[in-house]
Amino acid sequence: MRAAAVQLNSTEDIDRNLATADRLVREAAGRGAQLVVLPEKWSVLGTAEQMTAGAEPLDGACITWARSAARELGIDLVAGSIAEKLEGRTKTANTSVHVGPDGELRAVYRKIHMFDVEVDGVQYAESATEEAGDESVVSELADGILIGLTICYDVRFPELYGILSARGAEVIAVPAAFTLATTRDHWEVLLRARAIENQCFVVAANQVGAHPPGHRAGGRSMIVDPWGLVLALAPDSETVIVTDLDFAALRDIRQRLPSLAHRRDDVRDPTAAL
């Protein structure tokens, strides 16, 4: 399978973001990608007010475009994440959608872990405007391969990735808007660790550059193999990276180093009696 990660510099300008995403998804498909992953908040990325104003339901313009593009191009498209408007709720959800080559929604994942932190003196408080999800999600690609859906900050929580691999995921998508500082110091380490621990491919599409209200994302989108090797790495620009995923090699790794089979579920629960 050929996979692609699209790296964007999204802002509050939804029309511009959508046009750039469309161009790069088409480029990825033109280069043979069967699976394409967009970054977190690709449709709109700005202040809390701009994010709320740009939120859409799943039948809004952005997911409608994703369904049409996936159908036209015949690809599996993980539409990064969007600010999802939830009916009857004041808060939005940070929502990733997997669209199949037939244009149908295969899976919907709402980000579980809220980014309520301080980085380089800047406070981030996602939970003030976003509602956390409560369900892990594994979806099926067109050729039967299972893909786990995660978003950005989730990558710091290995237990979620362990659940996804235990449910059969051989690929995990990580759409992100990692800050410049955390991209520099943590991004690659975390992605490679999640790939090694779960002996799976990780397709990580990050935002890059400045976006309102003066934040910066770090780029370096990458695709990592189950041995932890970086197969493709993006430069610091809006671009797409493409590489082949060798599932025969994945299964060989899992056979020769069967760490997934050696997991001790009886001692994995920190609340369980020793």
Mean of pLDDT values over 235-254:
98
Of the candidates 41, 56, 62, 111, the residue annotated as catalytic is 111
Kindly tell me if the per-residue pLDDT of 269 is higher than 80: no
Mean of pLDDT values over 47-67:
96
Distance between CA atoms of residues 190 and 183, nearest Å: 10
Instruction: Give residue 26's pLDDT.
Output: 98
Kindly tell me if the per-residue pLDDT of 268 is higher than 80: no
Is 40 annotated in the active site?
Answer: yes
* Tens-place pLDDT, residues 175-210: 999 999 999 999 999 999 999 999 999 999 999 999
Is 111 annotated in the active site?
Answer: yes
Of the candidates 152, 170, 200, 238, the residue annotated as catalytic is 152
* Tens-place pLDDT, residues 93-115: 999 999 999 999 999 999 999 99
Residue 229 token pair: 């090797």
Is 238 annotated in the active site?
Answer: no
Name the E strands within the chain.
2-7, 35-37, 76-78, 82-84, 93-99, 105-110, 116-119, 122-125, 137-140, 146-149, 171-176, 201-206, 208-211, 215-218, 222-224, 230-233, 239-244
Q: Which domains does the chain have, with CATH numbers?
A: 2-259 (3.60.110.10)
Report percent pLDDT > 70 for the chain. 97
Of the candidates 40, 56, 130, 131, the residue annotated as catalytic is 40
Q: Tell me the pTM.
A: 0.96
